[in-house]
Each structure stands twice: as structure tokens, then as C-alpha cells.
Amino acid sequence: MSATNPKKVGENQYQIDADSNHGMRVPVKIYADEKLLQKMLSDRTILQARNVASIPGIVGQSIVLPDGHEGYGFPVGGVAAMDANEGMISPGGVGYDINCGVRLLRSNLTENDVRPKLKELVNDLFSSIPSGVGSKGAVKLSPSQLDEVLVKGVSWAVDHGYGTSDDADVCEENGQIPNADPNKVSDKARRRGAPQLGSLGSGNHFLEVQRVSEIHDEEAASRMGITRGTITVLIHCGSRGFGHQVCSDYLRVSEQALDRYGISLADRELACVPNTSEEGESYRKAMFSALNFAWSNRQMITHWTRKSFQRIFGQSESDLGMNLVYDVAHNIAKIETHKVDGQDRKLVVHRKGATRAFPPDRSEVPAKYRDIGQPVLIPGSMGTASWILLGQPNSMNLSFGSTAHGAGRMMSRTKARKNFTENDVKKSLGDKGIFIKALTRDGVVEESPQAYKDVDAVVNVSHNLGIATKVAKLVPVGVIKG
């Protein structure tokens, strides 16, 4: 058996055994169906997961989730847990878009309410929410104000009139992770980030107006305020140029420190430092600053979204009922307690393109949902669907409390640009009743639905494994892209 040829060990479960000849310290576990697995085998996804299995201090297994695809060093759709005392922390294990994540708003509106005003609504959202590659946010921050954002996250936004404290109650970490330290952030990162707070950005980031098309778990849906036929809004963006620069800065720091700590790696893109080292602490504090930046960013976009709906429908915020359902990060590393070989251990859990999917009764789950489990938001492509799932106990056994973060790319952006035209994509979306407003041609073409895996297949794997189960399916009606 080749070192990148997984064997089937159960339904939707594949494994590559730890092989010391390849420096592997733990096995690779892949959660996928046959078709998803074949796609992973067509690029470097599995090889990258095998390389991750060789990082000093990794425990359990190197995990690839059903949306897994090739990334920088670490696969996207991957989870790696390191011993907090003896293991590593790696900027590449979080990725460039620190706290890229999703948040979901529900509403009292139905599709019949929205259809007649859909174009007007999407145009209003597009004009009031800055988007695009170098897009500037709508606020000007002084250096000391930026420091406040980096420390306070969502609470900074709420203090400045963007939403309410109820929003913070249903964010991962309440939208404000402690121990962020702006002093660990470079001037370059600050210069890139300061003008961008409150902007959507480009690439796969979006804001979608959606309709709840299916309910699979009535109790959980009811707890989240989700009703079939009603309108929701999904916001997907991260820490913009700020987080990208933090990652770049600390990848360089980590690469330079490898020899000093005697770390040898299968791939230099896996550059890491001991979690407890000075460099490790500095990266964590800078990364946490980027987490808070991203939560504040999504909070401001939420505020402007609500204002757009108020303008277009002439209703108050309370009549619209646009409550935040949940906000979850999918590029993050945090210290969590997990059972390994029957023992509780403190681990640095790297989720790169992976969503936390904690079961009921974990203290980290917001009080509102603690007895049912954590909501999980999985965006699909702009032509298919997104899903709400619910974290389940099996996630703790199989994936360090994690599941997929989206559909996962099937096709590179370059290939998508060659294969599709803007008019074709817009027409196929229009035929499905989906109105799109985008800043650039590439923003439409690169995100063509055909460039993505089947989100339903990804969700089915998660559901069948019992790591996060189906609550509701959301289909797009209006889309904004950078």
C-alpha cells in the first residue's frame, strides 16, 4: 500500500497508518465518501495530511474532513491537535485568513415578502457594505482605536452602536477571545488592517440572502428561530489584510526559529514553533488579535445588513426579528481539553477550514444552546445551498470536536476563469431565481457553483458519522460578492 493510499476502515472513514519511515507520529484519518476521496487523491491533500502527521507533539490523528483540499502546507479542511506543553503551534495550521468564519441572521420575512424587492435589497446591501480586494471599511480608526478592536472584538463594535450585546452571546468566544495583545502585531499588519474594518473583501467571501428550504431537526431549528420558508442572511468573511499579514509575519518568524529548536519538518510550509516558546506565545497573541478583528468586522457588516433591510422593507429591527443565530470561526487555533487515550489533555487544536462542532454540555457552547449542542454553519456555493448542523458527541471521538467548513473547492480559480464566463454564471443563477451583484467579473466566475464540491455530499458525511447532524438547508435568493 502506498503511503498516500488510504484504506477503508468504516463507513465514510479511511486511514493511512502511522509510518515512521515517513516520519509520521500518528495516523491520518480521512472522513469522506468515495467520490470526495478521489478528488482529494487527485491533488496533494492526503500527502499534506501525512506531512502534518509528522509534526512534533501531534496527538491522536491528522484529520481530513469531507471538504478537504490542498492548501499552504496544511490541507484546507484539516484538523491537527498538538500537546499544549510539548507540541507546536503553526501559523500555516490556521491559515492566512485568520478567523475567516460565518455568521447567520434569521428574520420574520418570507420569500414572498422579499421577492418583489429582491434587486432593490441586494443593490442596497451592495452599496452599504464595502467589498472587493483592497476595499476600505466605512470607519477610520486611529492606532489606539485599532488596539481596542483587537482586544475587545464584538464588544468594541457593540459599544460603538453596531448591534447589541445579544449578538455577542451567540458568537464563538462571545466574539472576544481573551489574551489578545496588539503589541505582538507588526506595523505593516496594522497599516493593512486599520482601513479595512467593516468590509467584506473578495475571493470566496460573500453575503447571501437565503430561504430556509428544509428543516431536518425541528427542536434545534425552533431553538435557533429557524422556520421553513423564512429568509435568513449568511455572512462569510474574515480578518482581511490584517490577518493575512499576521500569518505572513509569523510564518517567517517560525521558519527562522526551526533550527534553533531543532525542528525538522517534511515541508517548510509547516513551519511551527513550540507552543510554550516566546515565539509561540507571540503568534498566539497576534492571532487572537486577528480573531477579534474578524469578529468585530462581521458584527459591523451585520449592523449595516439590518439597516438595509429596515430601509427596503420599512420595518423596525424588532419587527424584522433579525437576530443573530450563531457566529463561528473556521480558521483558528485554541487550547482545548480533549480525551486522548482515555485521559483529559490540554491541546492546541488547529482548525484550518474546519468548524468547531461541540456537543451538548461543553462549557464553550453559548448558554442558549448548551443543552442541545453547538450550531454549525456550512456555506455551500452561491448556486446550491448552505446548511445549519448541530454538533454531536461523536465529534469528540472522531475529530477533536470539528466538522467541515464549506463545500470545498473542486476547481482552481485559474481553471474557473478559463471554463466559465460572467454571463453564463449569472444566467444559470438567474434561471434558479438567484440575483447576484458583484464588484468584478472574476468575483463571479471564480466562484461559479461548478468550481465547488457538492455541499450536500459533504454534509451527508458529517451527518452519517454523527459528528454534526442536519438541522436546516438554506438556498440562496440574492448574493453579494467582492
C-alpha cell at 201: 473583501
Contact assessment for residue 407 and residue 455, using Cβ atoms and an 8 Å cutoff? yes
Contacts of 109 (CB under 8 A, 6+ apart): 230, 231, 309, 313, 320
Contact assessment for residue 425 and residue 450, using Cβ atoms and an 8 Å cutoff? no
Q: Give the 3-state secondary structure of residue 228.
A: coil
Strand 28-31 versus strand 58-69 pairing type: parallel
User: In the block, which residue shows the cell 428550504?
Assistant: 213
DSSP letter assigned to residue 6: P
DSSP letter assigned to residue 383: T
Q: In terms of residues, how long is the chain?
A: 482
Q: Give the 3-state secondary structure of residue 347.
A: strand
Contacts of 204 (CB under 8 A, 6+ apart): 236, 406, 447
Contact assessment for residue 166 and residue 324, using Cβ atoms and an 8 Å cutoff? yes
- From the list 244, 350, 405, 463, the catalytic residue is 405
C-alpha cell at 120: 432593490
Examine the residue annotation and report whether 405 is marked as an active-site residue of this protein.
yes
In the chain, DSSP finds a helix count (H) and a strand count (E) of: 17, 19
Contact assessment for residue 410 and residue 450, using Cβ atoms and an 8 Å cutoff? yes
- DSSP character string of 64-119: EEEEEE--SSSPEEEEEEEETTTSEE-GGGT-SSTT-EEEEEEEEEEHHHHGGGHH
Tell me how far apart the alpha carbons of residues 390 and 39 are, in angstroms, rounded to a whole number.
26
The phi, psi pair for 321, rounded to 5°, reads 65, 40
Tell me how far apart the alpha carbons of residues 129 and 304 are, in angstroms, rounded to a whole number.
7
Q: Give the 3-state secondary structure of residue 33.
A: coil
CA-wise closest residue to 477 among 443, 435, 438: 435
Tell me how far apart the alpha carbons of residues 5 and 16 are, in angstroms, rounded to a whole number.
7
Catalytic site positions: 405
